[in-house]
Amino acid sequence: MDTTAQRKQETQRPEPSGLSQSASPRLTLTGISKSFPGVRALHNVSLSLYPGQVTALIGENGAGKSTLVKIMTGIYQPDSGEIGIDGQVTTLPSAHAAFGHGITAIHQETVLFDDLSVAENIFLGHAPHTRFGTIDWRTMRKNAREVLETMRAGHIDADARLKDLGIANKHLVAVARAMSIDARIVIMDEPTAALSMKEIEELFLLIEFLKSEGKAVLFISHKFDEIYRIADRYTVFRDGEMVGEGLLKDAGQNEIVRMMVGRNVDHIFPQREPKIGAPVLSVSGLSHPTEFDDIGFELRKGEILGFYGLVGAGRSEVMQAIAGITRTSRGAISLDGQTIAPKSAADSIEAGIVYVPEERGKQGVVIGLPIFQNVSLPSLKRTSKSGVLRLAEEFSLARSYT
Q: 211-231: per-residue pLDDT in tens?
A: 988 999 999 988 888 999 999
263 and 297 within one domain? no
Flag whether 273 is in a domain. no
Say how many C-beta atoms besides its own lie within 10 A of residue 96's C-beta: 10
Contact 143, 136 (CB under 8 A): no
Strand order in the sheet with 39-49: 39-49, 27-36, 80-85, 88-90
Distance CA 318, CA 101 (A): 45
pLDDT at residue 7, as a whole number: 38
Which backbone phi and psi does 24 adopt, to 5 degrees? -70, 140
Structurally, the chain folds into a number of domains equal to 2
pLDDT at residue 210, as a whole number: 87
Last residue of a domain, one of 233, 268, 303: 268
Instruction: Give the confidence band of 62 by pLDDT, cuts at 50, 70, 90.
Output: confident
- Rg, C-alpha atoms of the chain: 24
pLDDT tens per residue, range 303-344: 999 988 776 788 889 999 999 999 899 999 999 999 999 999
261 and 124 within one domain? yes
Q: What percent of the chain has pLDDT over 70?
A: 90
Say which DSSP state 18 is in.
G
305 and 263 within one domain? no
Global pTM reads 0.66
Average pLDDT over all residues of the chain: 85
Q: Which domain holds residue 73?
A: 4-268
245 and 387 within one domain? no
Last residue of a domain, one of 202, 235, 268: 268
Give all strands (DSSP E) within 197-294, no chain letters: 216-220, 233-238, 241-247, 279-287
For residue 119, pLDDT over 90 is answered with yes
285 and 233 within one domain? no
pLDDT at residue 4, as a whole number: 37
pLDDT at residue 362, as a whole number: 73
Instruction: Give the confidence band of 16 by pLDDT, cuts at 50, 70, 90.
Output: very low
Say how many C-beta atoms besides its own lie within 10 A of residue 307's C-beta: 12
pLDDT tens per residue, range 139-187: 999 999 998 988 778 889 999 999 888 777 887 888 888 778 778 999 9
pLDDT tens per residue, range 226-251: 999 999 999 999 999 999 999 999 98
Instruction: Give the confidence band of 253 by pLDDT, cuts at 50, 70, 90.
Output: confident
Buried b (16+ CB within 10 A) or exposed e, 66-94: bbbbbbbbbebebeebebebeeeeeebee
Flag whether 290 is in a domain. yes
CA atoms within 13 A of residue 12's CA, in its CB half-sphere: 6
- Here the CATH number for the domain that contains residue 147 is 3.40.50.300
pLDDT at residue 368, as a whole number: 84
